[in-house]
Amino acid sequence: MANDQDNLLKKVISHAKEYGFVFPSSEIYDGLSAVYDYGQNGVELKNNIKEYWWKFMTQMHDNIVGIDAAIFMHPTTWKASGHVDAFNDPMIDNKDSKKRYRADVLVEDAITKMEEKIEKEVDKAEKRFGESFDEKMFLQTNPRVLEYKKKIDEANDRLKNAMNNSDMEAMKQLIVDLEINDPISGTKNWTDVRQFNLMFSTEMGSIAEDANKIYLRPETAQGIFVNFLNVQKTGRMKIPFGIAQIGKAFRNEIVARQFIFRMREFEQMEMQYFVKPGTEMEAYEFWKAKRMKWHQALGLGSANYRFHDHLNLAHYANAACDIQFNFPMGFKELEGIHSRTDFDLKSHEKHSGKKLQYFDGESNQSYVPFVVETSVGLDRMFLSILSNSYKEEKVAGADGEEGGERVVLSIPPALAPYKIAVLPLVKKDGLPEKATDIFHELKVDFRCYYEDKDTIGRRYRRMDAIGTPYCVTIDHQTLQDNTVTIRERDSMKQERVEISTVGEKIQKLVSINELLKKI
């Protein structure tokens, strides 16, 4: 990780804690690794992200409905889904640093480094040849580039084979052959690679002999598959249709060092879309485009998102990609879009002995639908917004602003924890009373914050730090002509308006519905 980006992540983590967004879990006992609590501002941001997703997926698509399935499920669910046998990650330790890694991630990182080397060659050549540079030709003919490409293809093939065949010796050999060093100790002193199942288990039942081993769900999707017929029948759903769900998932991740990017308890927002076999590619392309639009409507910058196609498809998938976001650690997976064929429903049919089929009235035939799923991590959405909106700026002191540095979270207004801060300029002369009246009126429609302590400049700073997009300031003129100033967070521009127009003016700017209209 480049130093600047490393610093940005550190700053975001400490800001998130200082301003009540994210706390380490059970911090008074020194925390619990890769588990976090959301604070008073974090929970609001999180709820707003959920609302944005839920409304888009269900309200805006009349063939998608939601459910809320239990976290505990019958243990056979996880046999059928393949998680008991195959939800493993290959793990490896460096004997010098005593650090543990995911072996496949070490290889992927080494491949990324080789890809970056190709980019560097291109940059160098572009500078050398200027206008006449033909990138396509260069990539096809330059010996050094061809050498890297060959190495990359070989490494990708070997990784794919090792993963598909669960061949941990081959995985170790690949790490040796690629001469991968531990980023911490710098040595190649590795242990063997071992498979590690990521599911947490516990026991259900009061008497030890009766107790059944059950799992904390590692994904929300299976709650949807097992309810496919319940929802289809009771909702009289016609294919194609979708079932959406937001809920907790649990994974005993091997490496959990990147704040809320990789947690052991996290939340997913998933939708399974059931289609007629043979039409899944159309649905896959449709949802790729839709989900990308949903992300981009937030305004965090289109260049910060990209698709990444999966080269190593799971055995049941016939297409899969990620939407990656430019996190402080670089481009990483934010959402997965997978065409899962009829694997899950067929497997549940087999294990439960129940038919999970759709009767198509038009063709008079029953079939097991194919599934396209979209799966986005709520916590990763949260991190994408927080890290992208964290800004340090120099401010000239004027109009009540304090000069110097400010930290501002330019969170999309529709998702900000508070929409409006109501601030009397001073705590005297009847201004707090007037401001309180305005606060009570506005709080019916908006999440509002009232504060009358400290200078106005300091209060603006505190609102900037939690991302409040609008401050409504009540001053002596307000008492004479019923006007207030509205200060906008990012530009710090102020506008004087009639009190009665404040609500209407701000409503459009902070509404999730307005965001949805853009998609």
Question: Which residues of this protein are in contact with ligand ATP, per CB under 6 A?
Answer: 219, 251, 253, 262-263, 266, 268, 333-336, 375-377, 379-380
How far is it, in rounded angstroms, from Cα 240 to Cα 61? 11
* Chain position whose Cβ is nearest to ligand ATP: 377
How far is it, in rounded angstroms, from Cα 44 to Cα 42? 5
Nearest CA to 454 among 494, 498, 421, 424? 424
CB of 71 to ligand ATP, least distance (A): 15
Calculate Rg over the CA atoms of the chain.
Answer: 27
Q: Which two tokens stand for residue 341?
A: 């064929």
Q: Which two tokens stand for residue 243?
A: 């079932």
Q: Smaller CB distance to ligand ATP: residue 313 or 497?
A: 313
Q: Smaller CB distance to ligand ATP: residue 240 or 377?
A: 377
CB of 500 to ligand ATP, least distance (A): 44
Q: What are the backbone angles phi and psi of residue 214, rounded to the nearest 5°?
A: -125, 165
Burial of 376 (0-12, 13-18, 19+ CB in 10 A): buried
Q: Smaller CB distance to ligand ATP: residue 253 or 401?
A: 253
How far is it, in rounded angstroms, from Cα 231 to Cα 242? 10
Q: Smaller CB distance to ligand ATP: residue 239 or 314?
A: 314
CB of 375 to ligand ATP, least distance (A): 4
CB of 319 to ligand ATP, least distance (A): 14
Q: Smaller CB distance to ligand ATP: residue 379 or 451?
A: 379
CB of 53 to ligand ATP, least distance (A): 12
Q: Does residue 323 contact residue 335 with C-beta atoms inside 8 Å?
A: yes
CB of 378 to ligand ATP, least distance (A): 8
Q: Smaller CB distance to ligand ATP: residue 231 or 376?
A: 376
Q: Does residue 395 contact residue 401 with C-beta atoms inside 8 Å?
A: yes
CB atoms within 10 A of CB 170: 15
Q: Smaller CB distance to ligand ATP: residue 108 or 285?
A: 108
Nearest CA to 489 among 396, 383, 397, 401? 401
Q: Smaller CB distance to ligand ATP: residue 106 or 263?
A: 263
CB of 327 to ligand ATP, least distance (A): 11
**234 alpha carbon, distance to own chain's centre:** 32
CB of 62 to ligand ATP, least distance (A): 25
Q: Which two tokens stand for residue 283?
A: 């649905």
366 DSSP assignment: E
Count the helices and strands in the chain (H runs, E runs): 18, 23
